[in-house]
Amino acid sequence: MARSVVEVRNLLKRYNGFTAVDGLSFDVYEGNVFGLLGPNGAGKTSTIRIIMDIFKADSGEVRILSEPPGAARERIGYLPEERGLYRNLKVEAVLVYLARLKGMAGDMARRRAAELLERVDLTQWAGRKVKDLSRGMQQKLQFAASLVHDPALIVMDEPFQGLDPVNIELIKNMIEELREQGKTIVLSTHQLNMVEALCDRIVLINRGRSVLYGELEEIKHHYAPRTVRVRTATALESVSDIAPVERHGADLVFTLATGSTPQQLLRVLVERDVLVDAFEVASVPLEEIFIAVVKEDSSE
């Protein structure tokens, strides 16, 4: 099993009697993109701020890169939800200053800043003031700022907020590149299509507690409706004994019995010479799982 880069155990955080994080536990493994999900006010930002050592937990244990929060600041990149930059500083100067705060030497910081500005298409803006940039450009600059010191772990809170589709694709590709480089990423976003495209594992938080946690594929498999959609010209009667089946237009929809797998169904169809034009195991979008789980938890 991969090494745990972020270990959170029984985390508790209260503000004036309100419990923001309530006994939360999860692990983020090295080289993974980990989705930290939840509705507004679920406790995501509080959890992130505790990980980043901006807030102190009331109780529980947090280890970041095998150290207590704050001890490994220089190896963590952070893109906060509440973001902003020094508006009157020049674009390159902002990156260099933030890199130096993370312990990078001046020359190295300037070189790294230039590389990242090129990667996010802002090279021509390097000498301009931040306030001259558009909102989307500032967003990309902020993204670059979280990577400027070449961190091992990057925590991103809503990295796609305010971006157009082209820049969303750019950031998505950069996150995939980071994963290929072995970086670990904690991604908090409401754009669940991005979670499905990028995340290996997720934790869904509601009212400060974990309500769904694990491998994304396993979760999706668990919540899948156990149906298989088959497109065939073969008569319905020849396969009706395999599993309950309904015709939906040109397709047959099989509902698998407990213990049966799609592979078993496909094997039987092949054995019976059913001409299969299409075979699709039905899945459920993460968004539907999110809504169902949160609603169920909130109604308790």
Residue numbers at the binding site for other proteins (CB under 8 A): 16, 49, 52-56, 70, 73, 76, 78, 80, 82-89, 97-98, 100-103, 142, 145-146
DSSP string, 186-234: EEE-S-HHHHHHH-SEEEEEETTEEEEEEEHHHHHHHHS-SEEEEEE-S
Q: For the CB of residue 64, give the shortest distance to other proteins in the complex, in Å.
A: 12
Nearer to other proteins, 106 or 285 (CB): 106
Nearer to other proteins, 45 or 210 (CB): 45
For residues 186-196, b (16+ Cβ closer than 10 Å) or e, as one string? bbbbbbbebbb
Q: Of 56, 132, 149, 53, which is closest to residue 95 (Cα–Cα)?
A: 149
CA 14 to chain centre: 25
Nearer to other proteins, 107 or 237 (CB): 107
Cβ atoms of 10 and 25 closer than 8 Å:
yes
How many alpha carbons lie under 13 Å from residue 182 in its C-beta half-sphere? 4
Q: For the CB of residue 73, give the shortest distance to other proteins in the complex, in Å.
A: 6
Q: For the CB of residue 149, give the shortest distance to other proteins in the complex, in Å.
A: 9
Nearer to other proteins, 102 or 204 (CB): 102
Q: For the CB of residue 274, give the shortest distance to other proteins in the complex, in Å.
A: 58
Nearer to other proteins, 73 or 220 (CB): 73
Q: For the CB of residue 179, give the shortest distance to other proteins in the complex, in Å.
A: 21
Question: What is the bridge-based pairing of β-strands 153-157 and 184-188?
Answer: parallel
